[in-house]
Chain A
């Protein structure tokens, strides 16, 4: 092969996984009552593009398997097969198998052959059972039988192009006559090196459902009659050509012979029959795939533009407004445009939260079935947008919370009925914008957290827990490391990570997490996240002559300490008394080695920083203000700096460093220990 197809693999896999997700969510929405044609069409299209891609790249297992899936879908789409619970189940499991096959193809492993075999067989069995055996006349029956299903075999001679004929045009003309199924036979196709682009190596098997007569079809082929093998015959079989060839393809695969590539193409008389499908396809192609780096560099450039613009504005302030009226008007316009560009560019990184939410119907369905519970999932605010990188980081914690809610929160139907509740529990996932944040909630109407058991468990684990603690403090205990879900509130085994990992993930995104729970009524977990990781809400503080940015999410409070509030412990380490609590005190001046500027301890301010549930008080000289800053990496051109997580560029073009609160905490506790 002359062309390296491998570089397209990534795109193929990305698109296929997206396609599978789309199929899965569509299948979940599909129920026997709501078998709407458009939904099935959507699923079919997804399967079809996966098959096409897989065949192109030679992932024969994937394409063969998808072919079965597609055939079943096609029958549903044509209305010859009812959409029942059994079919949907098999299709869902087939989607899983397909995902595994794709993973295996990408990573070079192999999928579980037993599962592939099992689902493949299930599909084949379904296909083998005569469609529409429920007695009702299938919708597509009239078109499947005479007055006119023609089977056409069209094998053009290789030199067909030289006479100015194009098989594509012929196929198009045929599709004008009626509904056309196209199967392309690529067996004659030589390797790319030997292929002559001016020769035609393809042959086609066509099934035309049309009321027209043989003459009409023959007329389409009139110009190429001498240059091809052509057979046109009426067709009686129920299946279609694609299904036939796919069966033969499977047989061959089973005999471990090199698989014959059969590209199943399909053209339909779309303008009339499927206007909706057309629209859907148009919206698909109205988005393009762009590498994240490109967008990041765009964001950087816009950041530059904003700074330059701010500089110009500053200069313009010194100008006489009367003399420079036009210039100032122009600058005002520039200001507005720059702001709009910045917003628009930031918006390109934003994705609807639906990208995460869409996986949950499946999670809920599977887990509820497994645990013998009835759970309804409600999602609210799927269209809420947030940064792509935030979305990627939040998916796992959210999954964990949803699993927890089903596992520990929602009771068994009998228990619920006894408690006077609806037998079906509800899990509500919601997302909404609040200020510069996005708030994601996972709420269930289950039994709620059990205060006494949490306290008992915490004591068992050696955590500080007292009966007098407020509910809020008790709920916070579940985020403690070691308080893993496996042995917590209920005895149902948890899976994977504990709540402490959820909290860690949320912290890493500089977000916060809160729990509210009422016994018997349910639990609500609220996650608050910044909209983007590229921008940070910061508090700028002055230490000596230098300005540092502290992430606002980590600032618990700031205060001017009274002289008696700061005490020393064992002579050196200092603590500050905050209400009833002693918080270790560190000086940012010492940590960052600042030597400039007058240092007056009496006038210092204290900023209480919080990260991972621990607190530390930091002495600074002045609070300068609060602003949104664009985060820049220091490490790309320098090494890591202790206590610094990154840098940003201030309005005047200077660089300010961003404090790493978690590390300040570590440095602080080390200083205390020393």
Chain B
């Protein structure tokens, strides 16, 4: 069966922004006086989104915070209406947008279950039949007739998930479920979602857990600032997203200063075959060509580099002087190449800093801190930032090799 469960065509959503979250008559009058009727700006949370999900398929949605993921689910759930475009859905929809959102703290678990069921359009009779499996899944047995305000946050979330799943919708919308609850609950959720998939239900999932989303999705949609950056096979889009977010992050660690007699124009990362690269395998090699422009001829100079981890902590730093390479005086623009034959770094994102300064370290011509990102991939997980060769030996109690 290849009927389309969700069809989104040319959907955009605009929010009007105001200076304060809540509008009062006073603020409206002030706005009228100040801007002649224009109140605040506007924000396009989503722009021109197109996609289809076939019945029985699972679509994962990824993107940084504020990319428009939750707005998209709200539009699909019908709680918001698109500014332009059309959304067509086939079948009943249950949304797990924020677990247990509809619960009233003063009502008991049982009362909330029936209320939530009714909100999703299920009769009391049908909910009664499902009560046992909900209570079992949520594991709240003795607390069923207690007000939910006395629940632990774990119980609250479990109950929310159980209710949303047990109403047995054709389409399930899941927003960041995998970020809450303990490991046991997350396994339970993943198992439930897998069985949901096996039953031929359609799912839309938002998660920041790329590993989990890759394992449950048939295809992935990548949003950035309300725009579709990609839509396709999970591994392709996850790869695209990872390299994209590498380029984005580090922005707040980036620093730049110097007298600018010599200016560093950029750095190109390439492998030993000369191919441009943004990531290397742990223990592998990388070459970096640092391009510079000489604005004013300077005397004996030094080029330096540093590698920092994502938090900005320096992992390694060195320069041409330490390496015993004489750069000499700089009169014309050019480039220097740095080769790191063994990058023994743990998997993760790293930032490179480069500098050009005088040989006596008195004058800093130009320094670019944390300006270039490089990903390091590894199958093995190690703690810390560097990978050290390590060997183990097992001995018995007498200190002899076993």
* Chain B associates with chain A: no
Query: Which B residues lie at the A interface, using CB under 8 A?
Result: none
